[in-house]
Amino acid sequence: MKPDLSDYPPVMNVTQAAELLGLSPLYLRQLTRMGQVPAHRMGRQIRLYRDELATWLASLPRAEVGHDHRGDG
């Protein structure tokens, strides 16, 4: 089942965004460090904007969406 974006705040931390994307926080941090996911650094913290993530998700090829990188199976 797809997550409902409106259930998430407009500005998220890595843990919240990882839950939304179905990724582990560690893997999401790696992706942001590589510039593969839209994110903003605020000092030592990373913030991700819900609208930017929605646009990014819509731009991904279908094969990449839903690929499991949570590290739990």
Read off the pLDDT of residues 33-49 as tens digits, 9 standing for 90 and up: 999 999 999 999 999 99
- Return the pLDDT at 69: 57
Is position 48 within any domain?
yes
Say how many domains are in the chain: 1
- Return the pLDDT at 31: 96
CATH code (residue 11): 1.10.10
Is position 68 within any domain?
no
Tokens of 25: 């926080």
- Return the pLDDT at 10: 96
- Return the pLDDT at 60: 86
Is position 19 within any domain?
yes
Is position 70 within any domain?
no
Is position 67 within any domain?
no
- Return the pLDDT at 6: 85
Is position 27 within any domain?
yes
Rounded CA-CA distance 17/39 in Å is: 10
Q: Which domain holds residue 36?
A: 7-59
Rounded CA-CA distance 40/1 in Å is: 28
Residues of the chain with pLDDT under 70: 1-3, 63-73
Is position 64 within any domain?
no
